[in-house]
């Protein structure tokens, strides 16, 4: 379930509702049927190697109308909040806090005497944001990424395509590496622009654009 949500940026309902008939192992595809998604539109994605391996095990010996994700005995997985919270806390991306004093608690009862607690941390829906961001980081075209995640409008898609500080640092590092690998050509091109800038501003601007974005 986590692999599907993280790789494709799918909603929880789209993941837990998957039936075996929607998994085509021969074509390595997963199909969300028309009317089963939030916007009512169907879509098909190609499985990654990881997802293919995991789903192959999930659908093994099941009938076509069985759910893909099931517990022991074949019961479909729907509510798994307790397990999700436990895993996130152990992974360091979630915690329980006292509902009365906001103190982090690891036991059913807080030191203040309260037994009320609430979960704070990573949500399953956050995997949708991660899926979208990963697709864009890998250079997948926005239109293709939207078809995979199921976003209809670019404005909503961009809400999930969050640029974080790490993304900005990665961009700078990539530019530094590119410029270093083309140091001689990069410097000479930029030097020629500066030298000729007083002669023809328009030409200089054009050359500078090429200089700072070398092939």
The per-residue pLDDT for range 37-58, each reduced to its tens digit, is 666 567 888 888 999 999 999 9
Choice between 9 and 63, residue whose per-residue pLDDT is larger: 63
Q: Give yes or no: residues 161 and 175 share one domain.
A: no
Q: How many domains, the chain?
A: 3
Q: Note whether residue 145 is domain-resident.
A: yes
Q: Note whether residue 62 is domain-resident.
A: no
Q: Note whether residue 48 is domain-resident.
A: no
Neighbours of 84 (CB within 10 A): 18
Q: Give yes or no: residues 151 and 176 share one domain.
A: no
Among 124, 156, 189, residue at a domain's last position: 124
Q: Give yes or no: residues 119 and 84 share one domain.
A: yes
Q: Give yes or no: residues 157 and 132 share one domain.
A: yes
Q: Give yes or no: residues 152 and 177 share one domain.
A: no
Q: Give yes or no: residues 110 and 135 share one domain.
A: no
| pLDDT, tens digit (0-9, with 9 covering 90-100), for 95-113 | 999 999 999 988 888 989 8
For residue 112, the enclosing domain spans 79-124
Written in H, E and C, the secondary structure of 107-153 is: CCCCCCCCCCEEEEECCCCHHHHHHHHHHHHCCCCHHHHHHHHCCCC
Q: Note whether residue 11 is domain-resident.
A: no
Predicted confidence at residue 133, as pLDDT, reads 79
Q: Note whether residue 64 is domain-resident.
A: no
Both tokens of residue 181? Answer: 């690998």
Q: Note whether residue 111 is domain-resident.
A: yes
Q: Give yes or no: residues 185 and 207 share one domain.
A: yes
Q: Give yes or no: residues 115 and 148 share one domain.
A: no
| pLDDT, tens digit (0-9, with 9 covering 90-100), for 130-168 | 787 777 777 777 677 776 766 555 555 565 555 555 655
Q: Note whether residue 149 is domain-resident.
A: yes
Q: Give yes or no: residues 160 and 185 share one domain.
A: no
pTM beyond cutoff 0.85: no
Q: Note whether residue 162 is domain-resident.
A: yes
Neighbours of 169 (CB within 10 A): 10
Q: Which long-range contacts (CB under 8 A, 24 or more apart) does 151-156 make?
A: 152/39, 152/41
């Amino acid at each position: 379930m986590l692999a599907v949500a993280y790789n494709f940026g799918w909603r929880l309902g789209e993941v837990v509702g998957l039936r075996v008939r929607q998994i085509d192992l021969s074509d390595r595809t997963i199909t969300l049927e028309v009317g089963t998604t939030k916007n009512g539109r169907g879509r098909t994605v190609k499985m990654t190697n990881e997802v293919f391996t995991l789903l192959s095990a999930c659908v093994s010996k099941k009938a076509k109308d069985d759910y893909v994700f099931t517990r022991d005995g074949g019961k479909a997985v729907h509510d798994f909040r307790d397990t999700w919270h436990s895993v996130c806390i152990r992974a360091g991306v979630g915690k329980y806090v006292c509902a009365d004093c906001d103190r982090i608690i690891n036991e059913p009862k807080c030191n203040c005497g309260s037994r009320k607690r609430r979960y704070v941390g990573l949500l399953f829906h956050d995997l949708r944001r991660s899926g979208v961001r990963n697709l864009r980081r890998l250079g997948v075209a926005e239109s293709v990424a939207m078809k995979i995640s199921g976003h209809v409008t670019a404005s909503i898609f961009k809400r999930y395509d969050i640029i974080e500080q790490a993304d900005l640092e990665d961009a700078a590092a990539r530019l530094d590496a590119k410029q270093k690998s083309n140091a001689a050509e990069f410097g000479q091109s930029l030097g020629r622009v500066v030298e000729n800038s007083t002669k023809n501003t328009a030409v200089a601007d054009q050359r500078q654009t090429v200089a700072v974005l070398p092939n």
